[in-house]
Each structure stands twice: as structure tokens, then as C-alpha cells.
């Protein structure tokens, strides 16, 4: 009795499908991570406001920063409850401190 050793077509297709899924997930993860590292689509002023908000929540007291936009000071006040009080030009949601999703 001889045993045929080899890979069936079904086994090969399963392995190729798994590799394709892993490659897709890794590709999407690298693409989204890359947008944070190369600065595309990130407003440094909004990042500064988010950091002020995180500091206010962590410290339990208001944090105020001043951002220069178009050579004019733009005060941003982050409150310990997570709200961000800023000029509408900054484009930050006052309740979450995230970039405003409204157009």
C-alpha cells in the first residue's frame, strides 16, 4: 500500500485565501498607521486642543492654551469634564474635543 504525499488543490486554496486575508489586514493597518506618521489629514492645532483636553481630564482642572492661527492668537480652554471651549475656526467639537465632523 503506497501513500501519495502532496498537497490537494483545496488545501492550497485555503492557504492562499488565509494569506490574502492576512495581507489585506496588514495592508489596511499600515495604511491607517501611515496617515498618522506622515501628517496627512492631521491638523496640528486640533492635536494641540486634544492634548489640552486630555491634560484637563487627567489633572481635574481647566487647561488653557493659545494657538496662533493666521498670525492671530486663538485661545482654547479645555475643561475637566472633557468639554473644549474654542473659536469655531478651530473646528473642534465642544463636547468631545475631537475634530468637528460637520462640513
Instruction: Report which listed range, 6-10, 15-19, 31-35, is most confident.
Output: 15-19
Look at the chain and report how many structural domains it folds into. 2
Q: What is the DSSP letter of 89?
A: G
**pLDDT digits over 24-56, tens only?**
988 887 776 554 444 555 578 878 888 888 899
Same domain, 17 and 28: yes
Grid cell in block for residue 98: 475631537
**pTM > 0.75:** no
- The answer on 33 and 54 residing in a single domain is no
Domain that holds residue 75: 44-90
End-to-end distance of the chain based on CA atoms, in angstroms?
73
The overall average pLDDT reported for the chain is 79
Which range of 38-42, 83-87, 88-92 scores highest in mean pLDDT? It is: 83-87
Contact 35, 63 (CB under 8 A): no
Asked whether residue 102 is assigned to any structural domain, the reply reads no
Nine-digit cell at 38?
506622515
Amino acid at each position: 500500500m503506497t501513500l501519495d504525499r502532496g498537497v490537494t488543490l483545496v488545501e492550497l486554496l485555503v492557504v492562499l485565501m488565509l494569506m490574502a486575508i492576512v495581507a489585506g489586514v496588514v495592508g489596511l493597518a499600515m495604511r491607517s498607521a501611515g496617515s498618522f506618521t506622515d501628517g496627512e489629514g492631521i491638523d496640528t492645532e486640533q492635536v494641540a486642543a486634544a492634548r489640552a483636553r486630555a491634560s484637563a481630564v487627567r489633572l481635574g482642572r481647566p487647561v488653557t492654551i493659545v494657538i496662533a492661527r493666521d498670525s492671530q492668537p486663538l485661545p482654547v480652554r479645555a475643561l475637566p469634564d472633557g468639554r473644549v471651549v474654542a473659536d469655531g475656526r478651530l473646528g473642534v467639537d465642544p463636547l468631545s474635543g475631537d475634530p468637528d465632523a460637520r462640513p
